[in-house]
Amino acid sequence: MNPKIEKILSLRGVRPIAEITAYDYPNARLADEAGIDMILVGDSLGMVVMGYPDTTHVTLEDMLHHGRMVARAAKNALVILDMPIHTFDTPQQALETARRMMETGVDAVKLEGGADKEEHIRAIVDAGIPVQAHIGLLPQKVKEEGGYHMKGKTDEEAAALLRDMQAVARAGAFSVVIECTRKGAAADITAASPIPTIGIGAGHGTCDGEVCVFHDLVGGFPWFVPSFITPKANIAAEITRAIKEWSAELTMPGK
Ligand code: KIV
């Protein structure tokens, strides 16, 4: 097993696992040097880096391009590259995509889906490629579901999420992201899960670790901030201040 994966697994029950997104060399290197456990090159880059309204516009080429930047930067963190929409529609396509992604130098891939993706995950894992699964709210389904809706609100939904976790674990995923899921349901899934759970918008202390979007954490995308995160910095304000200060100091020739 990849020693970086072994390290992540060994953290379970010892301390919370910290995962953050990064999409380029400097921010990935900063995250790595800050001691983060896992760096996700998420398809959220479609929104916070590329300016699309949602993640359904992101292509495999986009992800490969950014995956290479992050893989070059990270020395210690486990780097995971997200599979964009329609690049894993069948188990065969999922494996081909995962193989291309691993050529960028990343350590693992991630894909959205639960029981419906059990065979897809198994095909990738059987080829020796580590997979992080992703259940609960699936941003790639934003169009079919008509927006982003909290999951696990009813007993039926919570039970279906539990089955999703069991399916992805059975398929060999090494960890599972649980996104925007009711706190109680996320905690129940964690208690039953044989693999580490990583929450986002699923309450604090409900999962073995948490993942957050870099720009949400550092205030890098002020036009939209999810309600479940408290930014720890305001880099957008600092960038604006620095640009204004520099441009106000420019002088005319001869003055
Ligand atoms: O794309 C992404 O950043 C993600 C996280 C929100 C888990 O999938």
β-bridge partners, 177: 134, 198
Cβ(171)–Cβ(118) below 8 Å: yes
Share of the chain above pLDDT 90, in %: 98
Which ligand 1 atom lies nearest to the CA of residue 198? 7
Pocket test for ligand 1, best of 211, 215, 216, 217 (most atoms within 8 A of CB): 211
**137-165 confidence digits (pLDDT tens):** 999 999 999 999 999 999 999 999 999 99
Pocket test for ligand 1, best of 58, 213, 225 (most atoms within 8 A of CB): 213
- Answer whether 21 contacts ligand 1 (Cβ < 6 A): yes
Mean pLDDT of the chain: 97
- Answer whether 80 contacts ligand 1 (Cβ < 6 A): no
- Cα(83) to centroid of ligand 1, in Å? 10
- Answer whether 187 contacts ligand 1 (Cβ < 6 A): no
Answer whether residue 183 shows pLDDT above 90.
Answer: yes
pLDDT value of position 214:
98
**187-236 confidence digits (pLDDT tens):** 999 999 999 999 999 999 999 999 999 999 999 999 999 999 999 999 99
Answer whether residue 14 shows pLDDT above 90.
Answer: yes
pLDDT value of position 116:
98
- Answer whether 49 contacts ligand 1 (Cβ < 6 A): no
pLDDT value of position 29:
98
Which ligand 1 atom lies nearest to the CA of residue 177? 7
Per residue in 60-98, is it b (16+ CB within 10 Å) or e — as a string?
A: bebbbebbbbbbebbeebbbbbbbbbebbeebeebbbbb
Which ligand 1 atom lies nearest to the CA of residue 42? 1
Answer whether residue 76 shows pLDDT above 90.
Answer: yes
* Closest residue to atom 3 of ligand 1, CA basis: 42
pLDDT value of position 207:
98
pLDDT value of position 255:
80
Distant-in-sequence, close-in-space partners of 156: CB < 8 Å, separation ≥ 6: none
- Confidence band, pLDDT 50/70/90 cuts, at residue 59: very high
- Answer whether 71 contacts ligand 1 (Cβ < 6 A): no
Per residue in 175-194, is it b (16+ CB within 10 Å) or e — as a string?
A: bbbbbbbbeebbbbbbeebe
Active-site annotation holds for 6: no
- Confidence band, pLDDT 50/70/90 cuts, at residue 1: confident
pLDDT value of position 220:
97
- Answer whether 31 contacts ligand 1 (Cβ < 6 A): no
* Closest residue to atom 5 of ligand 1, CA basis: 42
Share of the chain above pLDDT 70, in %: 100
Mean pLDDT of 89-105: 98
Query: pTM above 0.85?
Result: yes
**112-138 confidence digits (pLDDT tens):** 999 999 999 999 999 999 999 999 999
pLDDT value of position 99:
98
